[in-house]
Structure 1
Amino acid sequence: MELLQGGRTGQIWRDGDTVIRPAGAWTPTTHRFLRHLGRKGFPAAPQPIQITGDDQEVVSYVAGRVCEDLSDPLIGSERMLMSAARLLRDFHTASQGFLESDDDAQIWMLPPQEPREIVCHGDYAPYNVATVNQEAVGIIDFDTAHPAPRLWDLAYAVYRWAPLSDPANPSVAFGLDDQLRRAEIFCNAYGATMEERRGLPEMVCRRLQALADFMLARAAAGDEIFAEDVDAGDARLYLNDIGYIGIHRDRLLKALS
């Protein structure tokens, strides 16, 4: 077996055409959702295979390169941004209907958000999108999937792909002008409505505040993974980016409209 790099270091393995990952209380719901995507003809998500007795899940391997480094030039190419936005749109379309058709008890890792329009991925970022030849072709890691408005997912995706993060952050290699250009490309390719564009800055801030609150609560409850993230400054970074987006809200709105 091959140890895969990225999140949850040392816990995710590839075995041929399958991936073995830690399972949680939400995994049965996630597997039912993945089967729904398959029935809808969406080919870019893993296929659920089984949940083992030792709290592991097995899903099909999604081929392609993921980008852990948000400053990777590949992420910012127009071709990549457009394909990533269209893949997200297609995922949202395929997601429709699950909440209404699934009769079993639904458990999600992240709390649902109102209105519950669709099941959002929850972490649609370059490190969770498989790419081939500078195009987004697959989505991985559905642990954070949960019911929410489409804009909840779109806003966080734009935050990650632009990325709408303070250039003072060492992991951000792009200034505001590049960020706004990339945000515009992403929203145009997704087909965002004018209403969604006007609501995007506030929704990014809501999403980041919810993420920071969730991380801090899990860390306080003794979750070692989230405690490590908090110690590394991740929650503080999200809160700082809320301020950064607030400062540049008008320029962002102008770029998107």
Structure 2
Amino acid sequence: MKPLEGGRTAQIWRDGDTVIRPSGAWTPTVHRFLRHLRSRGFAGAPDPIEITGENQEVVSYVAGRVCEDLNDPFVGSERMLVSAARLLRDFHSASQGFLQRDREVQTWMLPPQERCEIICHGDYAPYNVATAEHEAVGIIDFDAAHPAPRLWDLAYSVYRWAPLSDPANPHVPFDLDEQLRRADIFCMAYGATAEERLQLPETICRRLQALVDFMLASASTGDETFVEDVNAGDARLYLSDIDYIGNHRDRLLKALC
């Protein structure tokens, strides 16, 4: 076995064609959801294999390069941006029906959001997308999956892929004009409606605030993962980005609408 880079250091391992990673109370629900995706013909997600008695899950390895650095021309290209938006759209289409068809008790790490339209991935960012031949081909890490409107997932995805973050922050490769252009391209490739585009700035801010609230609440209970994230300044960054998006709301709406 060898550890996989990124995410939780020394907690996620690849063993041949499988990946071994920590499980949670939500993992049985997520595995049923992954089987649902496969039954709908969506091949871009891992296959669930088993949940061990050692608080670990085993899923199939999703082949492809994963990289979160949008400075990398391979990941930050317009071709990659378009393919990522289309992959998200296909995933959303495949996720439909799970809430109605699954008859077992459902447990999610993140709280469901009204309207419970589909199952959102919850963290559709470059670091959770496998790529090949300059296109997005697969999605990994479904821990944050939860029921919500598709706009809830689209909002966070646009935030991550544009990315709508102050260029003064480290690792933000594009200025505001390019961010707005990329946000429009992502929405166009996804097939966002005029109404969804109109609601996007407010929804991004609500999504980020919900993330901050969850992080702080989890850290306060002693969850080591979120304690580390808060100490690293992630919550402060999200709050700063809420202000950044609010300050440029009119320009974002003009670019999108």
TM norm structure 1:
0.99
Q: For residues 72 and 230 of structure 1, what CA distance do their matches in structure 2 show?
A: 26
What letter is aligned with 1:2?
K
Q: Which residue of 2 aligns with 1:156?
A: 156
> Secondary structure at 2:211's aligned position in 1?
helix
Q: Which residue of 2 aligns with 1:96?
A: 96
Which deviates more, 77-86 or 63-72? 63-72
Pairwise CA distance, 1:2: 1.2
Pairwise CA distance, 1:68: 2.5
Q: Percent identity?
A: 78
1:2-17 pair list within 5 angstroms? 2-17=2-17
Q: Which residue of 1 aligns with 2:197?
A: 197
Pairwise CA distance, 1:70: 3.6
The answer as to whether partners of 1:76 and 1:162 remain within 8 angstroms in 2 is no
Pairwise CA distance, 1:220: 0.8
Pairwise CA distance, 1:8: 0.8
Q: Is 1:54 equivalent to 2:54 in the alignment?
A: yes
Structural RMSD (CA): 0.7
The answer as to whether partners of 1:76 and 1:182 remain within 8 angstroms in 2 is no
Q: Which residue of 2 aligns with 1:250?
A: 250
Q: Which residue of 1 aligns with 2:214?
A: 214
Which deviates more, 60-69 or 29-38? 60-69
Q: For residues 174 and 40 of structure 1, what CA distance do their matches in structure 2 show?
A: 37
Q: For residues 77 and 56 of structure 2, what CA distance do their matches in structure 1 show?
A: 36
1:3-42 pair list within 5 angstroms? 3-42=3-42
The answer as to whether partners of 2:68 and 2:75 remain within 8 angstroms in 1 is no
> Secondary structure at 1:168's aligned position in 2?
coil
Q: For residues 70 and 211 of structure 1, what CA distance do their matches in structure 2 show?
A: 22
The answer as to whether partners of 2:68 and 2:125 remain within 8 angstroms in 1 is no
The answer as to whether partners of 1:6 and 1:68 remain within 8 angstroms in 2 is no
Q: For residues 20 and 76 of structure 1, what CA distance do their matches in structure 2 show?
A: 29
Pairwise CA distance, 1:73: 2.7
Q: Which residue of 1 aligns with 2:125?
A: 125
Q: C-alpha deviations, 1:161-206, integer Å up to 9, x for none?
A: 0000011111112100110111011000000000000000000000
Q: Which residue of 1 aligns with 2:76?
A: 76
Q: For residues 153 and 75 of structure 2, what CA distance do their matches in structure 1 show?
A: 18
Unaligned runs of 5+ in 2: none
Q: Which residue of 2 aligns with 1:224?
A: 224
Q: For residues 70 and 152 of structure 2, what CA distance do their matches in structure 1 show?
A: 20
Pairwise CA distance, 1:67: 1.2
Q: Following TM superposition, where does structure 1 have runs of at least 4 consecutive aligned residues deviating by more than 4 angstroms?
A: none
The answer as to whether partners of 2:18 and 2:59 remain within 8 angstroms in 1 is yes
> Secondary structure at 2:30's aligned position in 1?
helix
